[in-house]
Amino acid sequence: MKRTTLVAGVTLCFLNSVHAADGLNLLDDQELSKVNGQALLSMTVTNPENTNAQMKAENIGFYKLGMDAVMDLNINVKSLKLGCGGVNGAGGCDIDIDNLSLSGQSNTADGRASSSAQLTNPFIEFAVKNPNSAAAREIVGFRLSADKVVGLLTTGTENSSKPNGINSLSGYMKVQSDSSGTIKGLASTAGTRYNLYGSNQYGNLSVNGRLQALGLGGLAEVNFTTTAGGFNIPDINNNPFTTPAIVVNGTRMKSVTLVSRVNVPDILLGDDKSGYSTEGKVNYDPVTGYPTGVTALGGKVTATVTSCNLLACLLAPTNSKFENVYMNGKITGVTADLTLNQSLGLIHNLPINSALSLSLQKQAVKWMGTNDDDIAQKGWWLSAKDPVNIGDVIPQDLINIDQLFPQIGTAVSAYLQKNPAKTNDLGGLLKLGALTANIGNIDLSSTPLKLNVENLILKGQSFASNCYGGLKFC
């Protein structure tokens, strides 16, 4: 590696242009060699043999012109469109961002507009192929960067259900909640009603199982299916989840995907004599505020007998209906694999404390000092070396979980086929009143459910405008 400073030449030119009468003395080479100083500008050359393995193999070196200074910057860019069409085809732009702002880290209405991001040691760098051959030398990329950028980068004009800001992005960025290196969040789900019969757009909601009566085992057993009714699940707030940090790494991306497993509180079902609320109740840990369980009335449900055995046929022949069935028992171990497909147009607030660069290259280039998995692809590329901490991921609105109930119905059905529900309620079997059935403790931990959601408004993505006077963008 070679380093050439401009200070000596600049100093000589300056000293030769002044007169002794100005109070300055000329220095000869020996005297000048004893003077120490720091250049504002510096040039660094990194030959291929001193680069990473990929660039060494392709005989690419780097020429870096840097400024040893801290630069303050506050900018608004109405529309940033780079790499549209061209060699990458007609499918949009490498980078397409509307209403981009970079400021200091203040996120208040007036404080932001009067603050500036700090760029430490900004530089421009060229990637040169065959740098030691005058005939074959070729510039294959350049980048604008800084050793560190501290500030607030925002996109779009508002945090709403309508995607705005990032239309497409090519680059590398690691996104996490905090210094733990993970994404943390709280998922709150919307209540649902009557979910053990019929079907919805996600599938069949019915439960099919076996019921044994009066302690007679298989001598008094029926197979049944639910055909109406169900139990109510109320809104469940603050279900915590944790997943590894998201690494955004690709070209012309329009969305990112978060995958995490969410634990659903145990569901405790009571019969019509249990005093449980019709609407259901959620119990919360008084310290964490996280849900610990749901108590709900387990009915009323209409159950149709699909087949009967021996003595059971006397009281419950095939095709007979029991219209007031209440279940008691417990459903435990419910987990949901949450897959969130999030439009980048719903990501607006990015606090930056990292080396940050914008580059253009005609081939894949592994720039010096970037992360091992950050390889800039052909075209324009935006890269942040250190993680961006966006805080906890908390959706603004309740998540609809209707898609879980066909899966719950299937899992409960499979359990009740192997482990029949029990009833000793002779009056209910004689249809003299409601029929109470005990479904036992149904453990669903071995059958994770799937919850697919997309484009959630996140609370932490609101931001102040980088303008005075209440304008959204200026």
All residues at 6 or more sequence positions from 3 whose CB lies less than 8 Å from its CB, including other chains: 42, 43, 44, 45
CA 219 to chain centre: 54
Hey, which residues does 360 pair with through a beta bridge?
142, 380
CA distance 282 to 374: 45
Structure tokens at 204: 């069949």
All residues at 6 or more sequence positions from 167 whose CB lies less than 8 Å from its CB, including other chains: 92, 93, 96, 97, 98, 254, 344, 345
CA distance 390 to 256: 14
**How many CB atoms neighbour CB 450 within 10 A?**
12
**Are the C-beta atoms of 64 and 3 separated by less than 8 Å?**
no
**Are the C-beta atoms of 351 and 152 separated by less than 8 Å?**
yes
CA distance 280 to 301: 16
DSSP state of 314: H
pTM: 0.85
Every domain of the chain and the residues it spans? 1-39, 46-154+348-385, 185-340+395-461
For every one of its 474 residues, what pLDDT tens digit does the chain have, with 9 covering 90 and above? 333 333 333 333 333 444 444 556 787 878 777 777 667 889 999 999 999 999 999 999 999 999 999 999 999 999 999 999 877 677 789 999 999 999 999 998 878 999 999 999 999 999 999 999 999 999 999 999 999 999 999 999 999 999 999 999 999 999 999 999 999 999 999 998 767 777 778 888 899 999 999 999 999 999 999 998 888 889 999 999 999 999 999 999 999 999 999 999 999 999 988 888 888 999 999 999 999 999 999 989 999 999 999 999 999 999 999 999 999 999 999 999 999 999 999 999 999 999 999 999 999 999 999 999 999 999 999 999 999 999 999 999 999 998 998 999 999 999 999 999 999 999 999 999 999 999 999 999 998 999 999 999 999 999 999 998 888 889
Q: Where are the alpha helices (DSSP H) in 275-425?
A: 312-315, 404-418
